[in-house]
Amino acid sequence: DTAVSQTPKYLVTQMGNDKSIKCEQNLGHDTMYWYKQDSKKFLKIMFSYNNKELIINETVPNRFSPKSPDKAHLNLHINSLELGDSAVYFCASSHIAGSAYEQYFGPGTRLTVT
Amino acid sequence: AQTVTQSQPEMSVQEAETVTLSCTYDTSENNYYLFWYKQPPSRQMILVIRQEAYKQQNATENRFSVNFQKAAKSFSLKISDSQLGDTAMYFCAFMIPRGADGLTFGKGTHLIIQP
């Protein structure tokens, strides 16, 4: 069983398009996250979300928006894609109510904008 | 704001040797968590080990152990009896257990295990 899954694993699209990446976790966790890994492998938090709050990293353009239909899903929508959006995007989840805090990551989605 | 520094961009050791990866962090918080994540070429992020700041005892997981020095804000990872499968990027990460805060990562160390 895949604990945190993302679809698609690879996404190639043109500038200006709108795209979505889906994330699902079956761990029963209460908090989900999106991270961006750039070409130098640097990982940076984009969003954190649980049923109480959405935390947005202030450096994330408002073209990026998380959508959570339920506790097990946190999808990432990106409007008007730009070349600089090319990166690997990771979804993660954790159970902060249980004070565990370790985050489990999905396999990543490599987004290429041409 | 918290920062995490990994000063070794790349390291290379022979198989079966012991290797230590360095990590320092900066925070004014007293309660926090520290993690080491491994990212092999498959790009999957794998949790290696975690340490709670309030625990004085260093965490260990099989061949992996940490040297946590809270006063020095240092959190190094020791890999004993290194194996070819340990070849990967290793990321040190910091987290404050407050609401839905995410992880703050260092820039990573590329560890290469030579046969």
Q: What is the CATH number of the domain that holds A92?
A: 2.60.40.10
The amino acid occupying position B20 is T
pLDDT score at A53: 77
Q: Where are the domains of chain B?
A: 3-114
| Mutant choice from B36, B45, B61 vs A, greatest count of A C-beta within 10 A | B45
Tokens 């309660």 correspond to what residue? B31
Contact B100 A49 (CB under 8 A): yes
CATH number of this structure's domain B3-114: 2.60.40.10
Find the domain containing A97 and state its range. 4-113
pLDDT tens for each residue of B5-52: 999 999 999 999 999 999 999 999 999 999 999 999 999 999 999 999
pLDDT score at A51: 73
Banded model confidence at residue A50, pLDDT cuts 50, 70, 90: confident
Do residues A66 and A59 lie in contact, with contact meaning Cβ atoms separated by under 8 Å? no
Of A96 and B17, the one with more pLDDT: B17
pLDDT score at B1: 77
**Which residues of chain A are within 8 Å of residue B33 when distances are taken between CB atoms?**
101-102
pLDDT score at A13: 97
Nearest beta carbon to residue B102 from set A48, A104, A110? A48
pLDDT score at A98: 63
How many Cβ atoms are within 10 Å of B75's Cβ, its own excluded? Answer: 28
Question: Which residues of A, range 40-59, sit inside 8 Å of B by Cβ?
Answer: 40-45, 47-50, 52-55, 57
Contact A101 B108 (CB under 8 A): no
Tell me the three-class secondary structure of chain A, residue by residue: CCCEEEECCEEEECCCCCEEEEEEECCCCCEEEEEEECCCCCEEEEEEEECCCEEECCCCCCCEEEEEEECCEEEEEECCCCHHHCEEEEEEEECHHHCCCCCEECCCEEEEEC
- Total structural domains in chain A? 1
Contact A101 B102 (CB under 8 A): no
The amino acid occupying position B62 is N
pLDDT tens for each residue of A52-67: 678 878 789 999 999 9
How many Cβ atoms are within 10 Å of A18's Cβ, its own excluded? Answer: 11
Interface membership of B91 toward A (CB under 8 Å): yes
For residue A100, pLDDT beyond 70: no
Interface membership of B70 toward A (CB under 8 Å): no
Tell me the three-class secondary structure of chain B, residue by residue: CCEEECCCCEEEEECCCCEEECCEEECCCCCCEEEEEEECCCCCCEEEEEEECCCCCCCEECCEEEEEECCCCEEEEEECCCCHHHCEEEEEEEECCCCCCCCEECCCEEEEEEC
Average pLDDT estimate for A66-83: 93
Name residue A112's beta-bridge partners.
A12
- For residue A100, the chain B residue with the least C-alpha distance is B97
